[in-house]
Chain A
Amino acid sequence: MSKGLKHPVGARLLSPGAPRAKRATQALSLLLTFLVGCANQDQQRADHAIQRYYMGDIAGATKELRPLAKKTNENFVLNNVRLGSIALANYDLDAAENAFLAAYEVINSTGVNNGGRTLGAVLVDEKVKVWKGEPYERAMVNFYLGVIYYMRHDYNNARAAFENALFKLRDYAGDDEKNYKEHENNFSPAILMLGKSFQRLGRDDLAQANFDKLPPMLKTLGNPQLNEQSNLLLVIDFGYGPRKVTDFDGAMVGLAPTPLEAGPIARPIVRVDGAYQSLEGVNYPPVDLLALAQDRKWQSMDTFRTLKSAIGTGMIIGGGVEGLRGITGSGARQRTDLMVSGALIAGGLLLKATSQADVRQWELLPRTVYILPMKVAPGKHEISVQFPGADVRQTWRNLDVPEEGEATYYFRMNRWNEGPFDWPPAAMAEVNTSSAVSGN
């Protein structure tokens, strides 16, 4: 066997290297099975965790995601942002900060996909690449990190995180100076919160400069007096963010639904101790992630994938033509044509198979984030947020509103997450006690 078998006319059908090739193929198959198997199992656990979260089982979702978020594989960032979202909704601010920081560090690093991942993504499967998110997803990582610091009155770090949200958008706009400006202006939630952070840091000049960048429909929201007098800030995640979709052969990736398909964004109603709170001019959505996602330029990898798919199609067609020629031909020429045909079709299929879109995404993103600064009487209040158009509501009891400064509360609107909840939540109780003692 080691010497190979001989063809009747003397040609060696199996070379001496054949057993090695066989072993290599077996090893490759085993390795692929192992990698794909592990990845699928992790993906199933992540999907299950997200389902549990949407069903209101936050503790169960956290328990499933926590071990996944520790794995420093290609889904490290993705699983950490998922965990961060869930921890934030659960007011476990330490866990949310740690998760978003872990994601933030990798997102802000260069060369993360070195060490074979880039080549693997090009040759084999784009999902081998470490997921760093689309631009709007990266901006939201920084935005949530900023919200966490803002909630803790750590305004310097909040400012830094909101700046980074804008900085990142600039990064992905490419060389075009005009595009870069549009991107920076587009992400209004970070601009607004950056202005508020500067205001809390006593930099009214920089606060005003940021409020001035807001689009006309958000001018009321960016009113310096309104924000300065506010002692209650509600940050409300509403709706569902964009989903990645593929075309018929799984190559092209797009984002759906479009804002037109999804319809207009519902506006919130806020009741404090049952009394309707006027939100005139401020309950305008600062961003529509569905619209933002449609604007984004894609990575070069997407272009490459499309190219691979197109070449693959060409090779299959070429292989078919060559095959027809082989069938109608004769002799040695026929054999050559058939071999070339087979090789072309196989190569084309391989290219198309490896050009499948990477549809990994941060499923927990909202469609928009309402930012509502309000002035209410200091003390404990029952606060209810309702979206009549979407039939979702959430109520919190005993929310503390200070006389001075601004208390920030985060609401994740979800059909199975109505409450009423009591403040402080379990995850927050310990931190609150500590803050009260230290007088922060």
Chain B
Amino acid sequence: MRGSLTWLWAITAVLFLAGCSSAVQSGHNMALDGADLVKMTDQMAMSIVADPEVQAAIARDGALTIVVEPVENRMRAEVLPRGPSEAFTARVRVLLSRHARDKFQWVMNRDAFYRLRQQEIDVDLGPEPQRVQPRYALTARFSSLADEDPKRRSSYYVCAFDLTDLQSRTLLWTGAYEVKKVAVKGFGD
């Protein structure tokens, strides 16, 4: 009877766990996540501020006027929706605004400006993008190589950031974040 009771409780526990576990919490997704966002953007912001070429440009021209573009998705078989694609470069801008306020001046990109204006929020968005000419552009391109077999999936990501001089079409600074992710498939996958 004790054995039967144990089984009964085990089945109850299985049912309970099965009933309660969330479909979105127990899975493991290999996509770039919040931890990558923080680590990557911390690295990029520090690298930009510390770069001798960037420092020389600031010493020569004063605060750099920069427009920030969303990430260009070149990843293999991986969607990067608009929100996350903006978040990766936006966080670099936020970090630099916070920690090197006097060295950079930020210009809102055209799409973001019109999107915010469309929302009719009660905030002064400043002059229209056509009236402000940024000298530099902060861009990013994410690429990946993906592989999959019946037992596991793996992806190798290269996230390249560029600070480009729009007048001379030259790269003032470039940096990259690389990470490999592997997921082992389970019984139900």
Give residues in A with beta carbon < 8 Å to B: 15, 17-18, 20-21, 24-25, 27-28, 31-32, 35, 72-74, 76-77, 97, 101-102, 104-106, 108-121, 123-124, 128-130, 145, 149, 154, 156-157, 160-161, 163-164, 166-167, 170-171, 174-175, 300-301, 430, 433-434, 437-438, 440
Name the residue on A nearest B129 (C-beta).
A438
Between A and B, 9 residue pairs with Cβ closer than 8 Å are A21-B1, A21-B4, A28-B12, A74-B18, A101-B79, A105-B31, A114-B27, A157-B80, A160-B73
Alpha-carbon distance between A218 and B85 when the two chains are bound, in angstroms? 35
Alpha-carbon distance between A102 and B188 when the two chains are bound, in angstroms? 19
Residue B168 at the chain A interface, CB threshold 8 Å: no
Q: A21-B1, A118-B188, A434-B118 are in contact. Are A110 and B183 (CB under 8 A)?
A: yes
Beta-carbon contact of A20 and B5 below 8 Å: yes
Name the residue on B nearest A38 (C-beta).
B19
Contacts of A170 in B (CB 8 A): 148
Beta-carbon contact of B1 and A156 below 8 Å: no
Residue B99 at the chain A interface, CB threshold 8 Å: no
Name the residue on B nearest A24 (C-beta).
B8
Give which listed residue, A28, A102, A130, contacts B8 with CB less than 8 A. A28
Contacts of B189 in A (CB 8 A): 110-113
Q: A116-B18, A437-B118 are in contact. Are A110 and B26 (CB under 8 A)?
A: no
Q: A73-B23, A118-B187 are in contact. Are A128 and B78 (CB under 8 A)?
A: no
Contacts of A102 in B (CB 8 A): 24
Contacts of B187 in A (CB 8 A): 113, 118, 300
Name the residue on B nearest A4 (C-beta).
B1
Contacts of B11 in A (CB 8 A): 28, 123-124
Taking the closest CB of chain A, its distance from the CB of B40, in whole angstroms, is: 19
Q: A35-B15, A72-B25, A156-B72 are in contact. Are A129 and B81 (CB under 8 A)?
A: no
6 additional A-B pairs beyond A31-B15, A434-B115, beta carbons within 8 Å, are A24-B5, A111-B28, A113-B26, A119-B18, A437-B118, A438-B114
Beta-carbon contact of A120 and B17 below 8 Å: yes
Taking the closest CB of chain A, its distance from the CB of B49, in whole angstroms, is: 29
Contacts of B153 in A (CB 8 A): 110
Alpha-carbon distance between A163 and B155 when the two chains are bound, in angstroms? 14
Contacts of A115 in B (CB 8 A): 17-18, 21, 26
Taking the closest CB of chain A, its distance from the CB of B1, in whole angstroms, is: 4
Residue B135 at the chain A interface, CB threshold 8 Å: no
Alpha-carbon distance between A97 and B79 when the two chains are bound, in angstroms? 11
Beta-carbon contact of B186 and A113 below 8 Å: yes
Alpha-carbon distance between A98 and B124 when the two chains are bound, in angstroms? 30
Beta-carbon contact of A24 and B9 below 8 Å: yes
Contacts of B115 in A (CB 8 A): 434, 438
Alpha-carbon distance between A130 and B25 when the two chains are bound, in angstroms? 12
A-B pairs with lowest CB-CB distance, top 4: A116-B17, A109-B27, A113-B188, A120-B18
Beta-carbon contact of B183 and A15 below 8 Å: no
Among B22, B26, B115, chain A packs the most CB atoms within 10 A around the CB of B26
Beta-carbon contact of A112 and B188 below 8 Å: yes
Taking the closest CB of chain B, its distance from the CB of A156, in whole angstroms, is: 4
Contacts of B73 in A (CB 8 A): 156-157, 160
Name the residue on B nearest A438 (C-beta).
B114
Q: Which of B154-189 contact A (CB under 8 A)?
A: 183-189
Alpha-carbon distance between A111 and B23 when the two chains are bound, in angstroms? 10
Taking the closest CB of chain B, its distance from the CB of A74, in whole angstroms, is: 7
Beta-carbon contact of A24 and B12 below 8 Å: yes
Taking the closest CB of chain A, its distance from the CB of B151, in whole angstroms, is: 10
Residue B150 at the chain A interface, CB threshold 8 Å: yes
Residue B103 at the chain A interface, CB threshold 8 Å: no
Beta-carbon contact of B24 and A105 below 8 Å: yes
Q: A21-B4, A21-B8 are in contact. Are A117 and B15 (CB under 8 A)?
A: no
Contacts of B91 in A (CB 8 A): none
Name the residue on A nearest B9 (C-beta).
A24
Residue B111 at the chain A interface, CB threshold 8 Å: yes
Contacts of B146 in A (CB 8 A): 167
Name the residue on B nearest A122 (C-beta).
B187
Beta-carbon contact of A97 and B29 below 8 Å: no
Give which listed residue, B13, B19, B75, B183, contacts A160 with CB less than 8 A. B75
Beta-carbon contact of A118 and B19 below 8 Å: no
Beta-carbon contact of B23 and A128 below 8 Å: no
Name the residue on B nearest A77 (C-beta).
B23
Give which listed residue, A118, A145, A166, contacts B79 with CB less than 8 A. A145
Contacts of B80 in A (CB 8 A): 156-157, 160
Beta-carbon contact of A120 and B15 below 8 Å: yes
Q: Which of B70-106 contact A (CB under 8 A)?
A: 72-82
Among B73, B80, B117, B187, chain A packs the most CB atoms within 10 A around the CB of B187
Taking the closest CB of chain B, its distance from the CB of A164, in whole angstroms, is: 4
Alpha-carbon distance between A154 and B75 when the two chains are bound, in angstroms? 14
Contacts of A149 in B (CB 8 A): 79
Give which listed residue, A17, A77, A110, A161, contacts B184 with CB less than 8 A. A110
Residue B2 at the chain A interface, CB threshold 8 Å: yes
Alpha-carbon distance between A175 and B148 when the two chains are bound, in angstroms? 11
Name the residue on A nearest B12 (C-beta).
A28
Beta-carbon contact of A72 and B114 below 8 Å: no
Contacts of B8 in A (CB 8 A): 21, 24-25, 28
Alpha-carbon distance between A318 and B17 when the two chains are bound, in angstroms? 34
Contacts of B9 in A (CB 8 A): 24
Alpha-carbon distance between A340 and B139 when the two chains are bound, in angstroms? 73
Taking the closest CB of chain A, its distance from the CB of B139, in whole angstroms, is: 13
Beta-carbon contact of B150 and A174 below 8 Å: yes
